Amino acid sequence: MLRCAYPDGFDTDSRPGTAIIVAHVASGSVCCRRDHSTTRDASSVHSSDAIGAALVCPRARRRHSFSVRAARGDAEACTLKSRHRSGARHARRRPSPERSRAESGETVTHAPVLLGEALDALSVQPGGRYVDGTLGLAGHAQAILTASSPDGTLLGIDQDPDARAIAAERLAEFGGRVTIAAGNNRDLAAVCERYRFTAVDGVLLDLGVSSLQLGAAGRGFSFQHDAPLDMRMDPAGALTAATIVNEWDEEAIARLIWELGEERASRRIAAAIVRARPLGTTRELAAVVARSARGGGKIHPATRTFQALRIAVNDELGALREALYGALAMLRSPGGRLVVISFHSGEDRIVKEFIRREGSDCLCPPGVPECRCAHTARLRSLTRRVITPSPVEQAANPRSRSAKMRVAERL
Ligand SMILES: C[S@@+](CC[C@H](N)C(=O)[O-])C[C@H]1O[C@@H](n2cnc3c(N)ncnc32)[C@H](O)[C@@H]1O
């Protein structure tokens, strides 16, 4: 086993040769080349980078082994040692993530949820312009590009570099019809402006986490793998799950687990987390939660707590609020379509309230005799009731069970 010590002091085990990081120590600093392409300074080096990097390069896994060591609070002293069995050739060249997976027998799949319904709702047409604000593994994007052939275009945004790399390969066949942008969809309007991709015919948001992220052994989204408590979709994000569980006060943790996880045992779990500090890995946290949450349900007792942490780490509700306004600003008027697939009641509430608000001609409080807000409706809801996956889809893809889709049209 290879031992990785975190800059913030947490230990975790990972399989031998997990990293493709190229590191060298120069003038007391470390350069970490992640995904064979990004050079980062020592202050942002994390052993999750090593583990995450392995995800995109299983081929390198066979050739290199690395250890990551750093003292608590002393990221500058971080050293990454590599034990090459063969040269650094693979560390310089970024191989195709998909090809690497194929070579190692690994496959990543993410069944796009409500795919047919989303295409219908977007009313995809040849020559149309579409934004996928949650590109993921490009399942929806691929279908949109196919349905908008021969000349429809798509701008895909994702904050996760691993997802973007896979999406780029999957969409390569569409050539210049696709643009993939790194970024947070809370900046959707700014990203569209940057690529001069405005007055679009449709915006799709398929919220939440992808199978790639859940299945990634080193990113801490799931307790199925023992991994550092990270959970960042954007590896450059400032907040990690480790920070929340180890540094936030008990009251704030309880509120988070209650509000974002809808977990009835939130107070007990928060108290147990604080008692068990420091917590370093997903399995440690899952065990602490399991001891304090009520078991016996259909899901693992730690599921809701993990969901709450992930939503908080990535500020998913805050990003959604901003993304909706960005989408509204970019939709062609009239007729552009907004399609949002959510998996959490808090997300659906935000979408529903947004469509209601932007579908109203007046936002004055009830009882005001004359309208003073001068608000005018910019959207028309096309879904009186949320659209949910058919029983067949739910049976085939259990992840789809909690999906809710809402659709609105720009006036
Ligand atoms: C459920 S997956 C999308 C799956 C995709 N529709 C497909 O068919 O493969 C959600 C994706 O959105 C990304 N994501 C979530 N929130 C985001 C945000 N605020 N900004 C940018 N990307 C985000 C995640 O990194 C993830 O890759």
pLDDT in tens, 48-69: 333 223 222 233 332 222 333 2
Query: pLDDT tens digits, residue range 283-295?
Result: 999 999 999 987 6
Q: Which residues, at least 6 apart from 310, have a Cβ–Cβ distance to it below 8 Å?
A: 209, 221, 231, 241, 316
Residue to mutate, 210, 232, 317, 341, ligand 1, most ligand atoms under 8 Å from C-beta: 210
CATH class given for the domain over 240-313: mainly alpha
Q: Which residues, at least 6 apart from 190, have a Cβ–Cβ distance to it below 8 Å?
A: 326
CATH H superfamily, domain 115-209+322-410 = Vaccinia Virus protein VP39 (3.40.50.150)
pLDDT at 350 over 50: yes
Separation of alpha carbons 51 and 245, rounded Å: 21
The share of the chain scoring above pLDDT 70, in percent, equals 73
In this prediction, residue 348 carries a pLDDT of 98
Q: Is the CB of 161 under 6 A from ligand 1?
A: no
**Separation of 343 CA from ligand 1 center, angstroms?**
12
More confident residue, 79 or 306: 306
Q: Is the CB of 112 under 6 A from ligand 1?
A: yes
State the average pLDDT over residues 127-147: 98
Return the ligand 1 atom nearest residue 135 CA.
5
State the average pLDDT over residues 247-257: 98
Return the ligand 1 atom nearest residue 320 CA.
19
End-to-end CA distance of the chain: 59
In this prediction, residue 41 carries a pLDDT of 36
pLDDT at 194 over 70: yes
In this prediction, residue 298 carries a pLDDT of 79
Beta carbons within 10 angstroms of residue 252's beta carbon? 13
DSSP-based three-state secondary structure for 38: strand
Q: Are 295 and 301 in contact (CB under 8 A)?
A: yes
Return the ligand 1 atom nearest residue 343 CA.
1
Main-chain dihedrals φ then ψ at residue 334, nearest 5 degrees:
-90, 165
In this prediction, residue 110 carries a pLDDT of 76
pLDDT at 95 over 60: no
Residue in the block written with tokens 């998909």: 98
Residue to mutate, 107, 131, 158, 307, ligand 1, most ligand atoms under 8 Å from C-beta: 158
DSSP-based three-state secondary structure for 31: strand
pLDDT at 22 over 80: no
Q: Is the CB of 142 under 6 A from ligand 1?
A: no
For the chain, what are the domain ranges?
Answer: 2-104, 115-209+322-410, 240-313
In this prediction, residue 251 carries a pLDDT of 98
Return the ligand 1 atom nearest residue 141 CA.
8
Kindly report the CA angle at 85 between 82 and 86, in degrees rounded to 5?
Answer: 105
State the average pLDDT over residues 218-246: 96
Beta carbons within 10 angstroms of residue 372's beta carbon? 11
Band (345; pLDDT cuts 50, 70, 90): very high
Main-chain dihedrals φ then ψ at residue 360, nearest 5 degrees:
-105, 145
**Separation of 145 CA from ligand 1 center, angstroms?**
17
Separation of alpha carbons 121 and 118, rounded Å: 5
Cis, bond preceding 334 (omega within 30 deg of 0)? yes
DSSP string, 171-198: TGGGGGGEEEEES-GGGHHHHHHHTT--
Residue in the block written with tokens 């917590």: 279
Residue in the block written with tokens 């001068």: 374
Dihedral (CA of 81, 84, 89, 90) sign: negative
Residue to mutate, 140, 231, 233, ligand 1, most ligand atoms under 8 Å from C-beta: 233
Q: What is the pTM of this model?
A: 0.77
pLDDT at 228 over 60: yes
Return the ligand 1 atom nearest residue 134 CA.
12
pLDDT at 109 over 60: yes
Return the ligand 1 atom nearest residue 142 CA.
8
Separation of alpha carbons 152 and 406, rounded Å: 23
Q: Which residues, at least 6 apart from 170, have a Cβ–Cβ distance to it below 8 Å?
A: 98, 137, 138, 142
State the average pLDDT over residues 128-149: 98
Q: Are 13 and 4 in contact (CB under 8 A)?
A: yes
Question: Would strands 153-158 and 129-132 be described as parallel, antiparallel, or unpaired?
Answer: parallel
**Separation of 296 CA from ligand 1 center, angstroms?**
31
Q: Is the CB of 139 under 6 A from ligand 1?
A: yes
Q: Give, as one character, the DSSP assignment of residue 309.
A: H
**Separation of 237 CA from ligand 1 center, angstroms?**
15
Separation of alpha carbons 140 and 159, rounded Å: 17
